Amino acid sequence: MESHDKNCIICKKDEDQIPLVKFDYKQTSFWICPQHIPVIIHDPSQLNGLLPDADKFEAV
């Protein structure tokens, strides 16, 4: 299983700077900070290029 660097996929902050939340997607582990979790929920188009198939996510 591939594991990405342990930093927020959006702002790239690491666990020394901010709490990170791990999530799994397509057999891969990613990390995101609490500040950017709403992006996944409300504005997933920002994840294009960061997560595979992010353009298929539906904003809530």
Determine contact, residues 9/33, Cβ cutoff 8 Å. no
- From the list 26-34, 38-46, 52-60, the region that binds Zn ion by CB under 5 A is 26-34
Least Å from the CB of residue 58 to Zn ion:
21
Q: If we measure between CA atoms, which residue out of 28, 29, 42, 35 comes closest to residue 10?
A: 35
Residue 19 near residue 34 (C-beta atoms within 8 A): yes
Cβ proximity to Zn ion, 11 vs 50, nearer residue: 11
* Interacting residue with Zn ion among 33, 39, 40, 51 (CB under 5 A): 33
Cβ at position 27, least distance to Zn ion in Å = 22
